């Protein structure tokens, strides 16, 4: 089916990109997998309605089969096709934030197969805003959707460039669409409408304040770490992790901890957000990287930097604990999970 290019003229995709999108849609229709850019992170997509293709995603990701996938749609109207009942407040959020970095957990319609939801009766659904993601969804046509987790191996760092996808998944994916660096760089905010009142299951690109303002009610952030009935893999205590051990340290402890690590002959990279680097002690085993002061730019760069530092020869990434402020929630959440498997109490 030819792509309606005029619908996307605003996005100014090149003819080369259109060719790749046409190839990608043919691959998806034939039951293959395509990695594609979104504004949050790259996704690994397959046809929602094709269980064999969905099975490929789980195998490539090495992800447990009972961890559900997000359904990506290309138009707001498609929400009613994939979802059984939509509370008014959920519809309100979709109108406010789609296309954009918000996933809604809602009661699924019969059209969403068990393999996508991990057997749960809810479905995670979102409309991404990246022009290539939207163009691919539109190329697939109406009543088509992409089931797509982040395009990384289970538990590892999410990809924010096509090169990151290639490094982790390489030739196992049928095609990788390159859309440059992801503008947000952290995964979407997940809001569940599974229970009476909406709850944030994963902080992300849309803040709790923005959701509260849109709904005009306070909203809870659910800590699902110890709740085995909620299978949100991004809420597992250990997730989004680099290979190099990563530890968080409060501002006042960061240099003493770096010196203690250096004494144990560990090549240590100290990563800060504040100006404490001004007090950096001299030690040949300690290097320093300053991240941006503001949480949004920090979040945008976080995975890309961790991917980069994982390629170097550091023995330890020592990260300054972010400020205890709601704007930093998504960054703090990812850092905590990235460091969990290396923490002393683990």
Phi, psi of 287 (to 5 degrees): -115, 165
DSSP conformation class of 283: -
Binder among 149, 179, 203, 322 for ligand TXA (CB under 6 A): 149
The strands making up 316-320's β-sheet, listed across from edge to edge, are 246-249, 316-320, 268-272, 286-290
- If the CB atoms of residues 249 and 302 are measured against Mg ion, the closer one turns out to be 302
With binding defined as CB under 6 A, does residue 112 bind ligand TXA?
A: no
- For the CB of residue 132, give the shortest distance to ligand TXA in the complex, in Å: 12
With binding defined as CB under 5 A, does residue 150 bind Mg ion?
A: yes
- If the CB atoms of residues 18 and 154 are measured against ligand TXA, the closer one turns out to be 154
**Under a CB-based contact definition with an 8 Å cutoff, are residues 123 and 112 in contact?**
yes
Instruction: Select from 38, 271, 53 the least CA-distant residue to 161.
Output: 38
With binding defined as CB under 6 A, does residue 29 bind ligand TXA?
A: no
Residues 6 or more apart from 28 whose CB is under 8 A from it?
Answer: 34, 45, 46, 47, 53, 136, 140, 146
Residues 6 or more apart from 278 whose CB is under 8 A from it?
Answer: none
262: tokens are 């250096």
Count of residues in contact with Mg ion, rule CB under 5 A: 1
Phi, psi of 320 (to 5 degrees): -65, 125
With binding defined as CB under 6 A, does residue 99 bind ligand TXA?
A: no
With binding defined as CB under 6 A, does residue 83 bind ligand TXA?
A: no
- For the CB of residue 261, give the shortest distance to ligand TXA in the complex, in Å: 31
With binding defined as CB under 5 A, does residue 103 bind Mg ion?
A: no
Q: Which of residues 211-240 bind ligand TXA (CB under 6 A)?
A: 231-234
- If the CB atoms of residues 67 and 289 are measured against ligand TXA, the closer one turns out to be 67
**Stretch of 23-31, 40-48, 134-142, 310-318 contacting ligand TXA, by CB under 6 A:** 40-48
Residues 6 or more apart from 72 whose CB is under 8 A from it?
Answer: 38, 43, 45, 125, 126, 127, 128, 133, 137, 145, 146, 147, 148
With binding defined as CB under 6 A, does residue 187 bind ligand TXA?
A: yes
Binding site for Mg ion (CB under 5 A): 150
Binding site for ligand TXA (CB under 6 A): 38, 40-41, 43, 67-70, 101, 103, 105, 117, 120, 122-124, 128, 148-150, 187-188, 190, 231-234
């Amino acid at each position: 089916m030819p792509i309606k290019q005029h619908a996307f003229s605003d996005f100014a995709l090149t003819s080369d990109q259109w060719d790749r999108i046409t190839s990608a849609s043919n691959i998806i229709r034939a039951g293959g997998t395509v990695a594609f850019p979104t504004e949050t992170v790259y996704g690994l997509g397959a046809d929602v309605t094709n269980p064999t293709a969905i099975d490929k995603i789980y195998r490539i990701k090495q992800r447990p089969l009972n961890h559900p996938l997000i359904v990506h749609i290309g138009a707001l109207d498609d929400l009613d096709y994939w979802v059984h009942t939509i509370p008014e407040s959920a519809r309100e959020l979709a109108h406010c934030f789609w296309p954009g970095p918000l996933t809604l957990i809602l009661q699924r319609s019969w059209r969403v197969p068990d393999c996508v939801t991990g057997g749960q009766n809810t479905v995670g659904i979102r409309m991404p805003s990246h022009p290539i993601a939207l163009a691919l969804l539109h190329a697939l046509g109406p009543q088509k959707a992409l089931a797509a987790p982040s395009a990384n191996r289970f538990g590892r760092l999410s990809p924010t460039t096509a090169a990151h996808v290639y490094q982790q998944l390489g030739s196992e994916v049928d095609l990788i669409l390159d859309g440059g660096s992801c503008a947000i760089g952290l995964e979407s905010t997940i809001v569940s409408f599974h229970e009476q009142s909406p709850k944030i299951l994963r902080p992300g690109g849309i803040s709790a304040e923005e959701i509260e303002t849109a709904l005009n009610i306070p909203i809870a952030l659910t800590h699902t770490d110890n709740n085995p009935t909620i299978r949100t893999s991004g809420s597992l205590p250990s997730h989004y992790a680099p290979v190099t051990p990563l530890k968080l340290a409060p501002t006042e402890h960061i240099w003493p901890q770096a010196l203690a690590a250096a004494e144990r002959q560990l090549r240590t990279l100290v990563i800060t957000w504040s100006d404490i680097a001004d007090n950096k002690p001299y030690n040949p085993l300690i290097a320093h990287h300053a991240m941006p002061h503001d949480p949004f730019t920090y979040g945008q760069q976080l995975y890309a930097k961790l991917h980069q530092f994982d390629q170097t020869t550091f023995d330890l990434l020592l990260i300054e604990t972010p400020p205890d402020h709601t704007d930093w929630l998504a960054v703090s959440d990812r850092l905590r999970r990235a460091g969990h498997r290396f923490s002393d109490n683990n």
